[in-house]
Amino acid sequence: MSYGTPPPPPPPAYGAPTPPGGAAGSGGQSIPALISLIAGILGIVNSFCCSIIPLFPIAALVLGLIGMSDVKKSNGAKTGHGLALAGTILGGVGLLISIIWIIVAIVSGGYDWSFGETRPL
């Protein structure tokens, strides 16, 4: 039998007031930071293969900045600064790739400005 430390207190009963230090779930992962990383990855993939419209990279930039601010304002209660930073960087790279693709499409004449009108053969 050990007499060193007392056992931990039992969990609070249902409906019990929250303990000092905040409610459960107030910390954890920053959701905008995680979504920023996902949007940044999708933005890179989208910039290379599918579209020149930079929706995902712009979302990654905005959510990355929001996520970094969220983590900073939480004073250590939330994590995810690295995720937000990676999402912001990936968003910037994806936006740069999209801008390069837009410039190449315009300069090479590969972009159809007719918006659905038919061209004569």
pLDDT tens-digit map of 7-17: 888 877 777 56
Report the amino acid identity of residue 56: F
Is the entire prediction scored with pTM above 0.85? no
The b/e string for 22-56 (b: 16+ C-beta within 10 A; e otherwise) is: eeeeeeeebebbbbbbbbbbbbbebbeeeebebeb
DSSP 76: T
Q: Mean of the pLDDT values across residues 46-55?
A: 78
Q: Would the pLDDT of 118 be above 60?
A: no
CA distances from 12 to 23, 28, 38, 77, 102 (A): 12, 20, 37, 21, 58
In tens, the pLDDT along 17-43 reads: 655 555 555 578 999 999 999 999 999
